[in-house]
Amino acid sequence: TNTSDTCQVKTTCPYCGVGCGVNAEVSDNRLIAVSGDRDHPANQGRLCVKGSALHETTGLDGRLLEPRIDGTSVSWEQAIDHVAQGFRKTIEEHGPDSVALYLSGQILTEDYYVANKLMKGYIGSANVDTNSRLCMSSAVAAHKRAFGADLVPGCYEDLELAELLILTGSNTAWAHPVIYQRIVAAKKARPQMKIVVIDPRQTATCDIADLHLPLKPGSDGYLFTGLLSYLADNDALDSTFIDNHTEGFDSALLAAKQLTGSVAESARLCGLPETDLGLLYDWFSCTEKVVTLFSQGINQSSSGVDKGNAIINCHLATGKIGKPGAAPFSITGQPNAMGGREVGGLANQLAAHMDFSDPANIELVETFWQAPNMVHQEGLKAVDMFQAVHDGRIKAIWIMGTNPVASLPDADLVREALQRCELVVVSDCIEKTDTTACANVLLPATGWAEKDGTVTNSERVISRQRGFLKPAGNSRHDWQIICSVARAMGFDAGFGFRSPGEIFTEHAALSGYRNNGRRYFDISALKSLTEEQYNQLQPVRWPAAKQANLNPKRLFQSGQFNTPSGRARMVAVTPSTPVNQTSEQFPLVLNTGRIRDQWHTMTRTGKASRLLNHIDQPFVEISPEDAAHNQIADNDLVEVSNALGRCVVRANVTDRQPAGSLFMPIHWSAQFTSLARVDSLIAPICDPIAGQPESKYCPVTIRKL
């Protein structure tokens, strides 16, 4: 909408996976105010503190404004030519797997699409992964095992309709604040709605909990295998649903019983009072509408996939899925982790939610793209990718919109890997990050207020992110940069896109190509959008094979799943304890996570001074018992260390932290303080299926300085 000197643009928030709609008020190429979009289904007018400070983060300070090679400003033509020739020469000498792209859940679906197409169809390598690997890849793998595809069954409304809402591994109040606001409102309207928080820490989310289960760190899998055993022993199964719509029940139950055959055994393994755990089990078995919302506390584990399937098993065994207020619900961390999944932005995915397991899918994508060098096998996942950079197998890497030197496990090794690498290209909107410091080539990318395309949130709603400011300095859109490099490498045919709308419609067409209802992810109703229709696109929930609006909120309502048999698979899971255990030398477990008002490594939220009012410096939370044992007082400077590294931060002594474990935030990087890079302590241990690192369980020691 326009008035004489201001205009209002509908766009989406660039931070978390809730995907809130934002009204941006723009005047004279400046963002002067933001408000929540009342018409957007995710937030219905709400915003959290981070979202409402967006207009304080769009200034030019700290922006990367010119392309640079080895610190010298160059023209775009020189920069593109340098990257293209560098990649081409490396491929000629060492093969396609000697190069890699590392992407971000911050970039848009259109950016992801062309990056994936370039690597998998034209360069001929699947070494294209993303920081979303750190966020939800365990849930992706669990969905694929259970449902036959990476499908989120429910929607946000289910959280409000549930009679029992279980929040596990999620500090929803801080990590997904607008979802939390919706839950608080639902609880106020229906006080009989029960809320259970499963988390070793007493987080802010516990403030609305009827029951808090402070389980032993890493024991979540046992809690849910124990629940399945309990449901079977207490006549709480839905035998009709199991018989008609699932397979694998007997082996899943046998595996659960072998691990956790009684409530007492589950309680012992989880370190919980038997009566409290029994109460949750009883509520689950007696309640029809149950949603289990899970997030990083489940996913960031060396057995994250099994934990996800342990949760899904309980919902399948009781038929609590595909109905209003009943679903296992994975909520993603980043704004476009879901969009990246849709176009195949993970090294083990192909495109349109297909993967490498079926040669027919590879041939389908190859034909659709008319790909000259189609890859036929998975590439390296994030942690393995940087290990391959470190040991010289990958010689050229292009990192887009993310800061792995601060955010990947064993972060010092990642920095060393980039320092050794022959060619490091970084596209970013921010000039100085821990990762740009390691780059040979810097490419200035447009930022949130300038970028134009689509994102998908955690409830499968695709929304337009609209650019409303002119590109800062000499910056360009990520999709433009990728297409320019592709053409300079000689791949003119597949990369002649002139707008994000052209990319989106190709993506939509691919989703429906030779589909015939075989694949759930189908947005082919959007394949013929004109530029005007794309610009005006309203939020649309997929699948959208036939119509472009808010399509069915719930999947699997008919009990039909995306497996060859049409039945959901119950998986015989054997979740294990974390790989690295505490020792005499490293007796405490370090847990990591977000704080309320910061995002990732603070490159953008760090620009809004009021977002530092909540918490303005890195810290470690420690229980009063552990503090006393180590002679640490509140606010003391302490060193947290292990064999990989050390951090120096202030101690926050609090009884919200259980004895035996510590908590540190993920946000501080060397740009702010070189002594609080928490990922320099995290071991690169991953789930064997998902490749997601175990960032919630890291043995350390602490001492007062």
Judged by beta carbon, residue 295 or residue 440, the one nearer ligand SF4 is: 295
Judged by beta carbon, residue 47 or residue 481, the one nearer ligand SF4 is: 47
- Of 9, 11, 19, 444, which one interacts with ligand SF4 (CB under 6 A)? 19
Judged by beta carbon, residue 439 or residue 540, the one nearer ligand SF4 is: 540
Kindly state the smallest distance separating residue 561's Cβ from ligand SF4, in Å: 30
Kindly state the smallest distance separating residue 175's Cβ from ligand SF4, in Å: 9
In this structure, are residues 254 and 290 in contact, taking their beta carbons and an 8 Å threshold? no
Reported for 311-314, long-range contacts at CB under 8 A and 24+ positions apart, including other chains, are: 311/142, 311/168, 311/224, 312/142, 312/143, 312/146, 312/568, 312/571, 313/146, 313/224, 313/225, 313/228, 313/252, 313/256, 313/570, 313/571, 313/573, 314/224, 314/227, 314/228, 314/231, 314/284
Stretch that binds ligand SF4, among 9-17, 166-174, 395-403, 565-573 (CB under 6 A): 9-17
Kindly state the smallest distance separating residue 453's Cβ from ligand SF4, in Å: 16
Kindly state the smallest distance separating residue 51's Cβ from ligand SF4, in Å: 2
Stretch that binds ligand SF4, among 17-25, 64-72, 141-149, 671-679 (CB under 6 A): 17-25
3-state secondary structure 365-417: HHHHHCCCCCCCCCCCCHHHHHHHHHCCCCCEEEEECCCHHHHCCCHHHHHHH
Judged by beta carbon, residue 606 or residue 699, the one nearer ligand SF4 is: 606
Q: Write out the binding residues for ligand SF4, residues 29-48 only, by CB under 6 A.
A: 43, 47-48
DSSP 8-state assignment for residue 686: B
Judged by beta carbon, residue 136 or residue 388, the one nearer ligand SF4 is: 136
| Size of the chain, expressed as the number of residues it contains | 705
Cα-flanking dihedrals φ and ψ of residue 314, to 5°? Answer: -65, -35
Kindly state the smallest distance separating residue 171's Cβ from ligand SF4, in Å: 13
Kindly state the smallest distance separating residue 465's Cβ from ligand SF4, in Å: 11
Kindly state the smallest distance separating residue 26's Cβ from ligand SF4, in Å: 18
Size of the site for ligand SF4 (CB under 6 A): 14
Stretch that binds ligand SF4, among 11-19, 120-128, 342-350, 400-408 (CB under 6 A): 11-19
Does position 383 interact with ligand SF4 (CB under 6 A)? The reply is no
Q: Which two tokens stand for residue 411?
A: 């972060």
Kindly state the smallest distance separating residue 16's Cβ from ligand SF4, in Å: 3
Spatial distance between the Cα atoms of 580 and 589, rounded to a whole number of angstroms: 10
Kindly state the smallest distance separating residue 619's Cβ from ligand SF4, in Å: 21
In this structure, are strands 194-198 and 211-213 parallel, antiparallel, or unpaired? Answer: parallel
Judged by beta carbon, residue 17 or residue 308, the one nearer ligand SF4 is: 17
- Of 9, 18, 114, 485, which one interacts with ligand SF4 (CB under 6 A)? 18
Kindly state the smallest distance separating residue 414's Cβ from ligand SF4, in Å: 26
Reported for 237-240, long-range contacts at CB under 8 A and 24+ positions apart, including other chains, are: 237/317, 237/318, 238/317, 238/318, 238/319, 238/320, 240/319
- Of 9, 10, 11, 15, which one interacts with ligand SF4 (CB under 6 A)? 15
CA neighbor of 243 nearest in space, from 571, 572, 573, 568:
568
Does position 539 interact with ligand SF4 (CB under 6 A)? The reply is no
Spatial distance between the Cα atoms of 607 and 604, rounded to a whole number of angstroms: 6
Query: For the stretch 25-54, what's the b/e string if a residue is b when 16 or more beta carbons lie within 10 angstroms of its beta carbon?
Result: bbeeeebeebbbbeebbbbbebbbbbbbbb
Stretch that binds ligand SF4, among 172-180, 197-205, 210-218, 578-586 (CB under 6 A): 172-180
Q: Which residue is nearest to ligand SF4 (CB)?
A: 51
Query: Order of strands across the sheet with 30-36?
Result: 7-12, 21-27, 30-36
Q: Which amino acid is at 638?
A: V
Judged by beta carbon, residue 36 or residue 345, the one nearer ligand SF4 is: 36
Stretch that binds ligand SF4, among 16-24, 66-74, 529-537, 542-550 (CB under 6 A): 16-24
Kindly state the smallest distance separating residue 203's Cβ from ligand SF4, in Å: 16
Judged by beta carbon, residue 20 or residue 683, the one nearer ligand SF4 is: 20
Judged by beta carbon, residue 48 or residue 161, the one nearer ligand SF4 is: 48
Place of tokens 């009063």: 624
Does position 20 interact with ligand SF4 (CB under 6 A)? The reply is yes
Query: Order of strands across the sheet with 453-456?
Result: 453-456, 461-465, 540-541
Kindly state the smallest distance separating residue 178's Cβ from ligand SF4, in Å: 4
Judged by beta carbon, residue 50 or residue 395, the one nearer ligand SF4 is: 50
Kindly state the smallest distance separating residue 475's Cβ from ligand SF4, in Å: 23
In this structure, are residues 598 and 665 in contact, taking their beta carbons and an 8 Å threshold? yes
Does position 588 interact with ligand SF4 (CB under 6 A)? The reply is no
**Strand spans (E) along 401-511:** 423-428, 441-444, 453-456, 461-465
CA 151 to chain centroid: 15
Spatial distance between the Cα atoms of 82 and 87, rounded to a whole number of angstroms: 9
Neighbours of 185 (CB within 10 A): 13
> Greatest CA span in the chain, whole angstroms?
71
Spatial distance between the Cα atoms of 307 and 301, rounded to a whole number of angstroms: 9
Element spanning 319, H or E: none
Judged by beta carbon, residue 178 or residue 272, the one nearer ligand SF4 is: 178
Per-residue contact flags (x/-) with ligand SF4 for residues 177 to 216, judged by CB under 6 A: xx--------------------------------------
Q: Write out the binding residues for ligand SF4, residues 664-683 only, by CB under 6 A.
A: none
Kindly state the smallest distance separating residue 180's Cβ from ligand SF4, in Å: 8
- Of 10, 50, 341, 451, which one interacts with ligand SF4 (CB under 6 A)? 50
Spatial distance between the Cα atoms of 657 and 660, rounded to a whole number of angstroms: 9
Kindly state the smallest distance separating residue 628's Cβ from ligand SF4, in Å: 37
Kindly state the smallest distance separating residue 12's Cβ from ligand SF4, in Å: 7
CA neighbor of 453 nearest in space, from 401, 413, 397:
401
Judged by beta carbon, residue 178 or residue 252, the one nearer ligand SF4 is: 178
CA neighbor of 310 nearest in space, from 234, 253, 247, 372:
253
- Of 9, 13, 649, 685, which one interacts with ligand SF4 (CB under 6 A)? 13
C-alpha angle 600-602-606 in degrees, rounded to nearest 5: 150
> CB neighbours of 387 closer than 8 A, spacing ≥ 6?
413, 417, 684
Per-residue contact flags (x/-) with ligand SF4 for residues 87 to 126, judged by CB under 6 A: ----------------------------------------
Judged by beta carbon, residue 313 or residue 334, the one nearer ligand SF4 is: 334
Judged by beta carbon, residue 176 or residue 353, the one nearer ligand SF4 is: 176
Does position 16 interact with ligand SF4 (CB under 6 A)? The reply is yes
DSSP 152-221: ----HHHHHH-SEEEEES--HHHHSHHHHHHHHHHHHH-TT-EEEEE-SS--GGGGG-SEEE-PPTT-HH
- Of 41, 51, 86, 153, which one interacts with ligand SF4 (CB under 6 A)? 51
Kindly state the smallest distance separating residue 570's Cβ from ligand SF4, in Å: 33
Binding site for ligand SF4 (CB under 6 A): 13, 15-16, 18-20, 43, 47-48, 50-51, 176-178
